[in-house]
Structure 1
Amino acid sequence: MHLSAASLRTCPATRQAPSYDRTSHAPGVVHLGLGAFHRAHQALVFEQLLAAGDMRWGIHGVGMTRPDLVHQLQAQDGLYAVRVADGTGVKWQVPGALWRMNVATTERAAVVQAIAAPSTRWVTLTVTEKGYTPLLAQLLLDGLRLRQQTGLPGITIASCDNLQGNGHKLQALVKAAAHAHDGELLTWLDAHCAFPCSMVDRIVPAATPEVMAAAQEALGVQDHCALSTEGFWEWVIEDRLADPRDAALLQSTGVRVTRDVHSYEEAKLRMLNGSHTAMALMGALTGRPFIASCIGVPHIRAFVHQLMEREVAPHLSRSDWADYRTALMARFGNPYLKHSVHQIATDNSQKIPQRWPPSVLGQIAQGAAFEHHALAAAVFVRYTLGVDEQGQAYPLNDPQADSLKAFGAGQRTAPEACVRALLAREDLWGSTLPEHAEWIARVMHWHQHVMQHGVDASVQQLLAQTA
């Protein structure tokens, strides 16, 4: 038997499940990017509001490119299990917030109509860094134009992706898609719609057969969409909403509504995401499959701790960064989170520019060392070879995969030229680092060490030098 609205009644009563009516109301939220993260994060926030009786927060979920996931969720009436596991124990939840589903690539008109529906109050997005394209902007603009033409109120459009100033970037993207004759629409957007910046934080690995098997044991039914996540979550959103009354509602669920999103955003990008990328690359090369496998190695754990304390934290405005780092170290080691290093290492060309260079530039400005980031960059260059230290090949899942592999192919025969070529790319490192001689020299030093002695020996050497 599969999980569905009918079979949910047979699941153990100890499992948290929706008790409200999911069929009598229209969704109030359109979410673009119906992946694991949204379903284990924002959807659970909206679930709290629905469970409290506010039926305006049901979700119309949009899969941007994955019809298989949408069809699986449709077959399960939008239901799926979430395992929440950390040091306090394990619990299962079956949220009911996902009410309707479409696929953007094949059902575009339905998505536009959903954005323009009278019941829609919010649009949220988790389309990843590479998803901010003119096609996305036009999809949103078409729905918003229809709202404006039919006299409907404006809405909140909230980016929840790992982009600095994500609300500003999304607003600029949408307005750029408007033509010169859309002056009335642009005026309406400015007056009635809100594009708040936000930061979301929760570790949500991709679904695995192990989680599906655990879900079946816990619920007694098959669930092809089951997820696993940690107890920790954070959502910080700018106090700039189309309906200002939503701020108090979100705060009642644990969301932080503030004018200062930036300090949380930069800390997450540079501490969590920056460390994640470094560990993922090390794990990919050493054959360690999960983040927990990496942080469990004493020298990698020490490297990550020092990276955050010595090279990232000095340039953060988040005052409680030390507590955040302590929580991160515990979260990385959560044994229930089988967070694949190769999953985290996808789209490096889109992620590294936001995660590493700001800290390196901060160190340079202070005349401080940047050895940890230089070693991480050297490991990234080595990663572009597409084969680990045991000789096992792996794919480079990246929009720039072909060019990265082309740059990285010469590492064994002409390593210096290869490193210089990759470090010269401004799309990766910005305009300053490609011209910084000491940065280039230190990355080249560590690259040579990694090529000759391997990742583990290089990390241990760095720790010995910085003790």
Structure 2
Amino acid sequence: MTLSAATLRTLPESVHTPAYDRTSHAPGVVHLGLGAFHRAHQAMVFDQLLAGGDTRWGIHGVGMTRPDLVNQLKAQDGLYAVRVADGQGVKWQVPGALWRTNVAATERDAVVQAIATPSTRWLTLTVTEKGYTPVLGQLLLDGLRLRQQAGLPGITIASCDNLQGNGHKLQALVKAATPAQDTELLRWLDAQCAFPCSMVDRIVPAATPEVMAAAHEALGLQDHCALSTEGFWEWVIEDRFADPTDAALLQSAGVRVTGDVHSYEEAKLRMLNGSHSAMALMGAVTGRPFIASCIGVPHIRTFVHQLMSREVAPHLSRSDWAEYRDALIARFGNPYLKHSVHQIATDSSQKIPQRWPPSVLGQIAQGASFEHHALAAAVFLRYTLGVDEQGQAYALNDPQADSLMTLGATQRTEPEACVRALLAREDLWGSTLPSNAAWIARVTHWHQQVLQHGVDAAIQQLLTQEA
């Protein structure tokens, strides 16, 4: 038997399941990007609100391109199990907030109509950094235009992706799709729709056969959509909502509503995500499969601690950064997560510009060391070879994969020219770093060490040098 609405009552009492009615109410949230992260994060917050008796938080979930996942969820009536596991123990939960599903790539009209449905109050997005395209802007605009034409109120449209100022970027994307002569629609967007910035934080690895097997054992049922995550979660959102009463509701579920999202988002991008990218690339090149297997190596753990403490923290406005750093290192080591380094290294060309250059520029401005980031950049170049130090090939899953691998292919024969070519790319490093001679020199040095002696020896050399 498989997990579904019909089999929900057969689950063991130890598994937390939804006790609320999932069929009598229309969804109040449209979510774009129905991947693992949303289902183990925002969907569980909305599940909590539904469990409290507020029926307005059911989700109409939209997979952007993956009909296979949507079909699996549909076959299970939108139900799936989540293993929440950390040092405090393991528990299983079946959130019930996902009520309807569609695929944007093949059912665009249904998505537009969902945005324009009278019951829709919120639209949330986890479409990844590379998803903020004119196509997305047009999709949102088409739904919002139907709302405006029908005389419906505006909605809260919240990006939950790792982009600084994500609410501003999303609003600009929608406005860029709006014809300048459509002044009435533009006025309605400004007056009635809210685009809050937000920061979301929870480590949610891609589903694995191990998690499916653990779910089968815990539930006594097959679950093709089971997930694993950590106990920690954080959602910080700007106090800017189409319905201002939502602020208190979200706070009651553990969400932090604030006027200062920026200090949290920059800390997450540069500390958690920046460290993740560095470790993922190191793991890919050294053949370590998971983040936990990287942070479990003493010299990598020390590298990450120093990267955050010495090169990232001096430029953050989050005051509790030291506690945040220590919590991150503990979270990285969670043995249950099995967070694949190749999953995190996906789309590195889109992620690195957000995560590393601000800290490097901050260090340069203060005349301070940026050695950890220079070594990380050198490992990124080594990663573009597409083969690890044991000779095992891997794929670069990146929109820039072809250009990166073409560039990286020459690094053994012309290493210095290769480093200069990589560092000249403003799409990766911004407009200032490509002309900084000290930055180029240090990345060149560490790239040479990585090629000649390997990643681990280079890290150990850096730690000796920085001691």
Identify the TM-score tier after normalising by the shorter chain: over 0.9
Code of the residue aligned with 1:66 in structure 2: it is: R
Residue identity over aligned pairs, in percent, reads 87
State the distance in 2 between where 1:169 and 1:463 align: 39
Over residues 224-260 of structure 1, what are the superposed CA-to-partner deviations in whole Å (9 max), with x where a residue is unaligned? Answer: 0000000000000000100000000000000000000
- Displacement of 1:180: 1.9
* 1:223-372 equivalent positions in 2, closer than 5 A: 223-372=223-372
Aligned to 2:424: 424
Over residues 31-53 of structure 1, what are the superposed CA-to-partner deviations in whole Å (9 max), with x where a residue is unaligned? Answer: 00000000000000000000000
- Displacement of 1:14: 1.6
- Displacement of 1:182: 1.4
Structure 1 stretches of 4+ moved >3 Å: none
Aligned to 1:120: 120
Aligned to 2:102: 102
Over residues 188-234 of structure 1, what are the superposed CA-to-partner deviations in whole Å (9 max), with x where a residue is unaligned? Answer: 00000000000000000000000000000000000000000000000
State the distance in 1 between where 2:339 and 2:332 align: 9
State the distance in 2 between where 1:385 and 1:357 align: 22
State the distance in 2 between where 1:82 and 1:180 align: 45
Code of the residue aligned with 1:164 in structure 2: it is: Q
- Displacement of 1:181: 2.3
* 1:196-207 equivalent positions in 2, closer than 5 A: 196-207=196-207
State the distance in 2 between where 1:440 and 1:195 align: 39
Aligned: 1:69 with 2:66: no
Aligned: 1:31 with 2:31: yes
State the distance in 2 between where 1:36 and 1:14 align: 23
SS at match of 1:152: coil
State the distance in 1 between where 2:459 and 2:13 align: 49
- Mark the runs of 5 or more structure 2 residues left unpaired by the alignment: none
Aligned to 2:220: 220
SS at match of 2:120: coil
Aligned: 1:187 with 2:187: yes
SS at match of 2:31: strand
State the distance in 1 between where 2:11 and 2:287 align: 39
State the distance in 2 between where 1:3 and 1:364 align: 54
Over residues 251-287 of structure 1, what are the superposed CA-to-partner deviations in whole Å (9 max), with x where a residue is unaligned? Answer: 0000000000000000000000000000000000011
Aligned: 1:409 with 2:409: yes
SS at match of 2:80: coil
Code of the residue aligned with 2:138 in structure 1: it is: Q
Aligned: 1:152 with 2:152: yes
- Displacement of 1:324: 0.3
CA RMSD of aligned residues (A): 0.4
State the distance in 2 between where 1:345 and 1:21 align: 40
Code of the residue aligned with 1:256 in structure 2: it is: R
Over residues 296-319 of structure 1, what are the superposed CA-to-partner deviations in whole Å (9 max), with x where a residue is unaligned? Answer: 000000000000000000000000
State the distance in 2 between where 1:439 and 1:195 align: 37
Aligned to 2:21: 21
Code of the residue aligned with 2:120 in structure 1: it is: T
State the distance in 1 between where 2:324 and 2:13 align: 35
Code of the residue aligned with 2:277 in structure 1: it is: T
- Mark the runs of 5 or more structure 1 residues left unpaired by the alignment: none
SS at match of 1:257: strand
- Displacement of 1:9: 1.0
Aligned to 1:81: 81
State the distance in 2 between where 1:181 and 1:57 align: 35
- Displacement of 1:8: 1.0
- Displacement of 1:414: 0.6
Aligned residues: 467
